[in-house]
Copies of this chain bind each other. A is one copy, B any other.
């Protein structure tokens, strides 16, 4: 079975069936190339008349999140978005216009978290850093002069 995308491979290696809806959703996500909402996927699927149920889309998202192939982002608006990514610890920079995102490594945040733990007395288990702005393309496009 050749030509599996990263997301398709993620389903398989995690021991889940590679079904037709999941293949289709993997393709839709790849085609988006950036952060997307569940509603985006639902709209994409309906637009292409793939006959994929809403529940299936939410289940696939949930599953990919558990696998670590997808991560939930909390947009400044309070909405949820999802972005494909690798399993290693990292953070995201998301373009507020086109939603394209890049992963960044820990960049000393682990040390910062330890520092905060020491200063506050809290035992810190989870930290999350998200950055929003304009990607190079959109930055150029938005500065006419």
Chain B binder among A4-12, A21-29, A46-54, A134-142 = A134-142
Q: Chain A interface: which size bin?
A: 35 or more
Alpha-carbon gap, A135 to B127, bound state (A): 14
- A126 and B133 form a contact (CB under 8 A): yes
A80, A102, A131: residue with the most chain B Cβ atoms closer than 10 Å: A131
Total copies of the chain: 2
The listed residue (B107, B108, B120) touching A104 by CB distance below 8 A is B120
Residue of B nearest to A132 (CB): B126
Contacts of A115 in B (CB 8 A): 107
A119 in contact (CB, < 8 A) = yes
Contact indicator B76/A128 (Cβ below 8 Å)? yes
- Residues of A that sit less than 8 Å from B by CB: 72, 74, 76, 78, 80, 93, 95-96, 102, 104, 107-109, 112-113, 115-117, 119-136, 139
